[in-house]
Structure 1
Amino acid sequence: MTLSQDQYVIQLPSTPSATWTVNPRALAQQWLSKLDALLTRSSGDNDNDLDLTSLFHEECWWRDMLALDWDLRTLHTRPNISAYLRRNQPRAALSAFRLQHTGKFQPKLESPVEGLNWVSSMFFFESRAGRGEGVLRLTQDEATGEWKAYSVYTALQELKGAEEPLGPKRWEGTIESMPGGLGKGNWLERRKREKEFLDEEPVTLVIGAGQAGLNMGARLQSLGVSCLIVDRNERIGDNWRNRYRTLVTHDPCEFTHMAYLPFPKNWPQFTPKDKLADWFEAYAQIMELNVWLSTSVTSASYSDLTSSWTVTLTNLATNTTRTVHPRHLIWCTGHSGEPKIPTFPSQELFAGSIYHGSAHTDASQDPAVSGKNVVVVGTGNSGHDIAQNFYENGAASVTLLQRSGTYVITAEKGVFMMHEGLHDEHGPPTEEADLVAESLPLAVQFALNVHFTSKVAKAEKGVLDGLRKAGFELDFGVDGAGISRAYMTRGGGYYIDVGCSPLIVEGKIKVKCCPEGIRGFEEKSLLLKDGSKLAADVVVLATGYDNMRTTVRKVLGDKVADRCRDVWDLDEEGELNAMWRPSGHPGFWFMGGNLALCRIYSKFLALQIKAAEAGLVQ
């Protein structure tokens, strides 16, 4: 049975009770030296040199981000890893492995869950194309006592000859050091021409100036790949600024930094949406991003002959057009971009208002809200936030209509437990935390999260018991893996509590569970398939968002969309479909996710584009 058929549910290994007198550095160094020697011998075409028996358990994992293949891959079991290395090591030529010797992630013995012990360490390596970092985790064989790899992570970090100008490699900045000297203008004069692309075509065109587009633009420009970002909004940050008035981020500050530019130390733990919007605006200016606002894509076609796009852009303010010919088009319109809006029988009979949650602004704007019965359909983050907003503005009654169970974790306790030791106030540098956070295959992360979710449930028992008593159906997900699985497979199905759960527990916001859903409408009520009805003046459909490919079809047409794969959920190996990696359409990329994922994976997508421009991708 494949991972996908088994819903990515695996059993973690059971290891001997490791003695804490083992020398983790010696074990890790010995193993890494053996791997280095083995891969060096197999950099040619001799398949017989790649016997992994002494280094890897039969049930083992290798997650690879561009180091061996120009894609995001997860390999499971020793035979599959061996075959993967045989195909790719002759080209990639991984070598020069060395351990991390400082900081939090030098070799150490860990017990991530009861019954499982491993030696873990960050390491560094080189390849023919670039340099990378990784994480190894060694477990002891129960029968023989040998320490072998349970999981290995390799992630390309830079390309040789195309290193980013960071730290000691930063640009000098004087006019004399700029190409062409003073004759090409000072910094400000050059920026004006660069932003308008008066002297060249953009190599990449990014559609959308939210966290995905801005992180993407910053990464590409740091790699020397010219990038134009376009957005329909009037201001950068409007994708957050125009959302409902009380919205704040549900992830803490240390987890949500942007690439290269972390939030100040006095930044609030959870960022109000308008403050985040202003930060985006400042970020684009500081990072010298080329953003055209009030601009939409009128048409786009791809030539397989020239490997380039012809894209017509329309300025919505002036009704003028410009045609550009980028080689790469990056779709950053948001993983939650295209509202999923269902319709129901007899909906036309309803005398009240019905709208999707994406159209919600603020209940205080309705002067008659105090006399209204509100039904919010859906119990994810948006549904809870909107219900809370109506209650706090005096609605006569607010009811959450729930069809299926929802995972609930509180921002007060569970969220901080989730980031403890990595993205927190006392954690390691963000770049190291990002590497370690992504270093395990998602199936292994899910298995570990079963234990974590149980731990959080004990810490939040009072809230969860209160929700159950109020009639709210909880769902801890497949195998009880909680929020990570829900996000990666469904893109939803959870609520990070920032205040609505206590209102439900106290009966201030009601819950109606009806798995069968909505039957139809009457003039002042919503009819349910279980035969009951809910009085309603306002119905908000917090029913989620469609696949990003749907937005592509709507804007760019069938010809482009038909060549793309569906986005999100997991493929057979356990990596996300089409996101941050080849989409199925040449020169077309999807970029999205929360703030942290956009920061982390914008690096890998930028490296793929830079490698393609350098002729490294076959």
Structure 2
Amino acid sequence: MATTLTGGNPHIIQLPKTTSDGPSDPRSIAQQWLSALEIQLSRSQSLNIKDLFHDESWWRDMLALDWDMRTVHTATEIQNFLCKQQTKAQLCKFKLQDTGNFQPRLEQIIDGLSWVSSMFFFETAVGTGTGMLRLTQAEDGVWKAYAMYTSLQELSSAQEPLGKRRAEGTTESMPGGLAGGTWIERRNRQKEFLDEEPTTLVVGAGQAGLNICARLQSLGISCLIIDKNQRVGDNWRSRYRTLVTHDPAEFTHMAYLPFPQNWPQFTPKDKLGDWFEAYASIMELNIWMQTSIVSAEYDEAEGQWTVILARGDGSQRTLRPRHLVWCTGHSGEARVPSFPGQESFQGNVYHGSQHRDASESDVRGKKVVVVGTGNSGHDIAQNYYENGADVTMLQRSGTYVITADKGVFMMHSGMHEDGGPPTEECDIAGESLPWAVQFALNVHMTKRIADAEKETLDGLRRAGFELDFGMDGAGISRAYFTRGGGYYIDVGCSQLIIDGKIKVNHSPGGINGFGNRELLLANGDSLPADVVVLATGYDNMRTTVRKVLGDKVADRCSDVWDLDAEGELQAMWRPSGHPGFWYFGGNLALCRIYSKFLALQIKAVESGISKGVRQ
């Protein structure tokens, strides 16, 4: 059995082939293997795992062995990694999951690949963790690890007040008792930080800022969120009128507070904005709206920022937090190209981020060209068509298309779905494979989805819409994590294209320039245009850092997003390159999942366990 890298790309692999015969007792196989690993780990630097891992195996770790996100490939590299980290980490006391969906079982993953998988629990020198093991059978019949996952879930010195550990809540039980005031009196002082400095300043009150603040406060880290908008949730309310989330409800819960059972499957943007506002109140988050950064300087010796804030009432406030968490949005800074002749164009040109609703003016019969065929481009094109415009989408390269009513639910089958396992367990299982392995598995899932959506995809091809199933055919996941786009989750626009109601022009060379009333294309065509919408995406979050905090800070930060050499996401949710500075973003599900790990990293720094910088 072997896993091989292909094409010179370290993130494209060939999955192993395994025998079809499975064990009669997966639990005994998993227990025997886990016990053998624990014995080896107890030997620290003299450990030897060669008999436990296939040559081409993987170990993904989130904070349990190293204060970072790490993916280690091959038994030799895993051996070296464990020898370096285990002496300090001290993983021990392994215990298999014994209930639910993730107890030891034989899984038939795809044709020719099956493994014994199980969730398990363990302890470290600083806390407790949860992991996943996946064992496949070698040619000699011995079960060895193909993929291991370890994740720190809680610090022993900072257990969250959850469930039986929840706070009592009476005035007498609060610090200082009645002399410290009632709950509302304390909250009013906390919100304004009259008695203390916030340890962490979070910039942005979207799903990223709200999730990370809730996690930090649960760990006892004082936190303030600032946002330039008037109300919490305005980052969604201010988007175009017809926007609805493209991910289903069970996948998009917030930390600690899932949506109610009667919540719609896909959430309208204004309803989500209201939910954010309610969440902030229920979770007692400290938020200053209509507030922006005037300046921010980092003192290396003190390990502290000096941040001057401008507030909505015209006042300024200077704060000295130890951590700055940048939650301005992975799609925060618009990428706005310019073209020859654009200044003489007699129509209207604007970026897709500025789109509100086509009904705000009379667009009936107007020639509208939407440049770009990602989610926003499709939604904007559909919005213009439904208001009577003559719409053409300009496509430069292929786009991956998946439907919201079929493909999206196929991706979540057995996991984040109604009646599925608990969200916390799904989050662990869902993140437990290295991205390279997930992408390889997604090649097969993408083919299954394409078969189920054949009618739609064939119709798009006939209409001249170019499809792209991504590098290696891995579909939406690879497109999202490496490009941040390049796909459309279909909520109706594809049928309009198939029916010829929205036209498509394919121009691989893009746009040559503008005429007075037309768009001049590199393929030689010209498109009459009254309105041109540039649905051309967004810049790297580092661009926003440079714009607000200046070159001194931005030059020390890494670019964010896409995969690094190991196959982990660059800089996001992990050390950024600048001490005391963290990028945080992603969709609702990712913000729920990774807020736990970022909060643990910040708490570890504050507890003196970690330095919070990449080693």
TM-score, normalised by the number of residues in structure 1: 0.98
2:587 corresponding residue in structure 1: 594
- Alignment-mate amino acid for residue 311 of structure 1: V
- Any conservation in 2 of the 1:3–1:573 contact (CA below 8 Å)? no
Equivalent-residue separation in structure 2 for 1:77 and 1:7 (angstroms) = 12
Equivalent-residue separation in structure 2 for 1:499 and 1:366 (angstroms) = 23
1:284 corresponding residue in structure 2: 280
Aligned to 2:72, the other structure's residue is in SS state strand
Asked if residue 256 in structure 1 is aligned to residue 214 in structure 2, the reply is: no
Equivalent-residue separation in structure 1 for 2:136 and 2:524 (angstroms) = 56
Equivalent-residue separation in structure 1 for 2:84 and 2:43 (angstroms) = 14
- Any conservation in 1 of the 2:5–2:14 contact (CA below 8 Å)? no
Report percent identity of matched pairs. 69
Q: How does 1:138-537 map to 2 (within 5 A)?
A: 138-141=135-138, 143-315=139-311, 317-367=312-362, 369-395=363-389, 397-537=390-530
- Alignment-mate amino acid for residue 185 of structure 2: E
**Pairwise CA distance, 1:426:** 1.6
Correspondent of 1:585 among 571, 578, 585? 578
**Pairwise CA distance, 1:40:** 1.3
1:8 corresponding residue in structure 2: 11
2:110 corresponding residue in structure 1: 113
- Any conservation in 1 of the 2:293–2:308 contact (CA below 8 Å)? yes
Aligned to 1:567, the other structure's residue is in SS state coil
Q: What's the CA shift string for 1:292-317, capped at 9, x where partnerless?
A: 000000100101010000000001x3
> CA distance change for structure 1 residues 333 and 137 in 2, over 3 Å: closer, same or farther?
same
Q: How many equivalent pairs are there?
A: 608
Equivalent-residue separation in structure 1 for 2:328 and 2:571 (angstroms) = 15
- Any conservation in 1 of the 2:10–2:565 contact (CA below 8 Å)? no
**Pairwise CA distance, 1:371:** 2.4
Asked if residue 53 in structure 1 is aligned to residue 37 in structure 2, the reply is: no
Correspondent of 1:23 among 22, 25, 28? 25
Aligned to 1:440, the other structure's residue is in SS state coil
- Any conservation in 1 of the 2:5–2:13 contact (CA below 8 Å)? no
Aligned-residue CA RMSD (Å): 1.0
Equivalent-residue separation in structure 2 for 1:239 and 1:18 (angstroms) = 52
Equivalent-residue separation in structure 1 for 2:24 and 2:435 (angstroms) = 29
Correspondent of 1:614 among 583, 607, 611? 607
- Any conservation in 2 of the 1:565–1:577 contact (CA below 8 Å)? yes
Q: Which runs of 4+ in 1 moved over 3 A?
A: 1-5
Equivalent-residue separation in structure 2 for 1:50 and 1:574 (angstroms) = 26
Equivalent-residue separation in structure 2 for 1:492 and 1:204 (angstroms) = 30
**Pairwise CA distance, 1:51:** 1.1
Equivalent-residue separation in structure 2 for 1:18 and 1:447 (angstroms) = 23
Equivalent-residue separation in structure 1 for 2:455 and 2:10 (angstroms) = 30
Q: What's the CA shift string for 1:217-267, capped at 9, x where partnerless?
A: 000000000000000000000000000000000000000000000000000
**Pairwise CA distance, 1:2:** 7.9
Equivalent-residue separation in structure 1 for 2:239 and 2:386 (angstroms) = 17
Equivalent-residue separation in structure 2 for 1:4 and 1:593 (angstroms) = 29
- Any conservation in 2 of the 1:310–1:323 contact (CA below 8 Å)? yes
- Any conservation in 1 of the 2:12–2:472 contact (CA below 8 Å)? yes
- Alignment-mate amino acid for residue 416 of structure 1: F
Q: What's the CA shift string for 1:318-339, capped at 9, x where partnerless?
A: 2110000000000000000000
Q: What's the CA shift string for 1:20-51, capped at 9, x where partnerless?
A: x5210000000001111111121xxxx3x211
Equivalent-residue separation in structure 1 for 2:610 and 2:76 (angstroms) = 26
Aligned to 2:401, the other structure's residue is in SS state strand
TM-score, normalised by the number of residues in structure 2: 0.98
Unaligned runs of 5+ in 2: none
- Alignment-mate amino acid for residue 159 of structure 1: L
Equivalent-residue separation in structure 1 for 2:598 and 2:6 (angstroms) = 25
- Alignment-mate amino acid for residue 393 of structure 1: N
Aligned to 1:371, the other structure's residue is in SS state coil
**Pairwise CA distance, 1:99:** 0.1
- Any conservation in 1 of the 2:107–2:117 contact (CA below 8 Å)? yes
